[in-house]
Chains A and B, each alone.
Chain A
Amino acid sequence: MPSEPPGVPPPGAPRPPPTPPGAPPPPPGWPGAAGPAPRPDFAAPRALHPASIVLGIPFRQLIRGLIFPALIGASAGPGLRFVFVIVGVLLVMTLIGRVLAWQRFRFSFDGEVLRVDEGVLSRNHRALDVARIQQVEVDRSLAARVLGLATLRVETAGASGEPEVELRVIPEADADALRTAVRVSKAQLTGTATSGAQAGDLDADGEPAPHRAAAPDREVVSVGLTRIILGSVTGSRLLVLPAVLAASLQFVGDATELGGGTLDPETLVRRLVALGVVAIVALLIPASFVVASAAGVLRDHGWTMRRIDDDLHVSRGLLSTRQSVVPLARVQLIEVQRNWVRRALGFAVIRVHSAGGGGDDSRVTIPLVRSDEVDRLVRELLPGVGGVPALWSHPPNARRRAVFRWIRASVVPAAALLLVPGLSGQLRVLGAALPFVAAVLGLVEFSQLAHGRTDRVLASRSGALSVTTGLAPLVKVQGVTQRASWFQRRLGLATLTAHVAGPGGDLTVLDLGARRGTELRHGLVIAAADPVVPKELAEAPEAGMVVTPDP
């Protein structure tokens, strides 16, 4: 005899009882066995947790709101008491406002529509259809964590960066349950079975089998602590520091050259200042490494990406955790980025651009992965794509343009270093050497310039010091543009841009042969005009290079 599943509400309930996650499903005959049960947890309008009276205020706005009056009060003169009175009044008013807002806030979810009623003076009723919901995220700030609360954010595919609905704050368990409920409803809407094992799932003994999800739920990648630190330390911003140090050493050279034997106060001061500057900078570098590592760890600690059904769930953060959901079908573009340090060490950073969702979440960045893991991750992120395709280099004429671009960029700084009066000999040498360094970098860029195409994806690699390989699935290409400037036309080159949706920018193939560009353009238009949805693609094997590499 099956035992009664835990958590069944009293028989007077108007709807089938919810099945708590992890509990065995009710066997046939019991209420709720009729099929996937909608979750009525949230059908009745609920209020936010009372803590939202305080936590609901964005911290920055609070400071901003207080600073102005505080400053005005302080400058007004008649004693500090006045300031305190003003600030006190403002605080009380804010508190009253927040209490009223909390009292007026109600939300509910009946399985199809998420409703929110809010507003003190102007009532706002929002009804969000599940079909419109793109992402549901659960964030936990430090304060909320301590109290066992969380913020639920719901975003739609609209272009604005603001979340459509933000429930700040509700109990953690409720937030997770609501997110699951929305996800289940969405999946039911699109007709795919999520938790397929419901009623009638009995194992050999006739006992109810444990609740088993038929759809995938597995970890895709998780980034350990050392890699996060390494990733922060090798980030491009930090590489500026050695240059700054070199420049500051230059000033030391200047200061100690001047004054020869005599030691007048001015020279002494200058020397001390120069030494001080160097000391500060010398301390600055390790300090910056530490700060960058700390920032990286705070933001990305425990970085994990899981694939659940057809979504990628990313969670990260040390004190305040953040969870993002990116539907696989919304991934528009992937960039694999390696700067010269990471290339030398054999690592890469992967950026995933998606459409829908706003701000940070339209771009998910995997902090640091090994170069030999990239292909596997590409397979995970772009269904149907086998990995980074073979890349063909560009015609030799492109070398001229790459070198020219770099030299052109170096002309102004070199001229400044050479012509501005009063600079030391070493700086002048640097100025003279810059164009040569630029030319070398131009050659490096040409050697990295490449592109490739299969029948699933377009790839383009570019960059000199920081090399980025962009991968755009053909089904996501919105349009194609081919440009050729007068110089490019003379050299028989063109630049091709594949446009994708979302704020992440497009995929550009720079300086490829004009004829190849035209072929590629026609091929992309055909692929973009009748795309196959990624899920279907995942079943068929990928075809290799489609066009021959003739430039």
Chain B
Amino acid sequence: MITVWRFSTVTSMLLPTVVLTAVAVGFLGTIGWLVPAALVLLTVVLAAWYPGARYERWRWRLTDLAVELEHGVVVRQAEALPYFRIQQIDVNQGPIDRLLGLASLQVTSASASGSVTLPGIAAGEAPGIRRALLARASSAVQGHDTGVRDAV
């Protein structure tokens, strides 16, 4: 997973680096080459440190009632999505994910912003986890003993 993040850090820094290089060299001449040098250094540092730190902080678990996640280095986030509110679960794989045999589960609720993503799951385990989550979701809906089963 860390590799995936490293890769995406590098690729996402690539375009701004190129653009800023062009601008700086265009306006400042030879001194402008300091800019891409600084940006490349920044990218290297970020790619080396940030994904590792992110990985350390990433936690998710299935509790009695909900899927709970904690993640984030600079901005720490804790999210919770109760099984009762699960509408749909997708298994997604980016190009690098496929190469490395990883997948991520996207769990969707009725609220677009309340949906959570569980990254970095082994591709072989992903369908199993998805089934387990769906089973918990449907048992939560059936166990709900008052009349209308309306998660919205």
Contact = CB atoms under 8 A, between A and B. Distances in A.
Contacts of A478: 81, 85, 109-111, 114, 151
Interface string A493-529: 0000101111000100000000000100100111011
B118 to A, nearest CB: 14
B66 interface: yes
Interface string B69-81: 0001011111111
Interface stretch (B22-30, B33-41, B97-105, B142-150): B142-150
Nearest to A497: B113
A476 B111 CA distance: 10
A502 B112 CA distance: 8
A331 B127 CA distance: 35
A330 B65 CA distance: 23
Nearest to A536: B146
A450 B80 CA distance: 23
A485 interface: yes
A479 interface: yes
Contacts of B152: 157, 330, 355-356, 476, 501
Nearest to A505: B113
Interface residues of B, number: 32
Contacts, number: 102
B10 to A, nearest CB: 24
Given A355-B110, A478-B114, A501-B111, A329 B150 contact: yes
Nearest to A504: B111
Contacts of A525: 65-66, 68, 80, 82
Contacts of B110: 355, 478, 501-502
A480 B79 contact: yes
B79 A481 contact: yes
Contacts of B76: 483-484, 489
A512 to B, nearest CB: 14
Contact of A486 (B66, B75, B114, B146): B75
A18 to B, nearest CB: 29
Q: Which 4 A-B pairs have the closest CB atoms?
A: A499-B114, A479-B114, A501-B110, A529-B82
Interface of A: 157, 190, 329-330, 355-356, 476, 478-486, 489, 497, 499-502, 506, 518, 521, 524-526, 528-533, 535-536
Given A480-B114, A482-B77, 7 more contacts: A355-B152, A480-B79, A499-B111, A506-B114, A529-B65, A529-B66, A530-B140
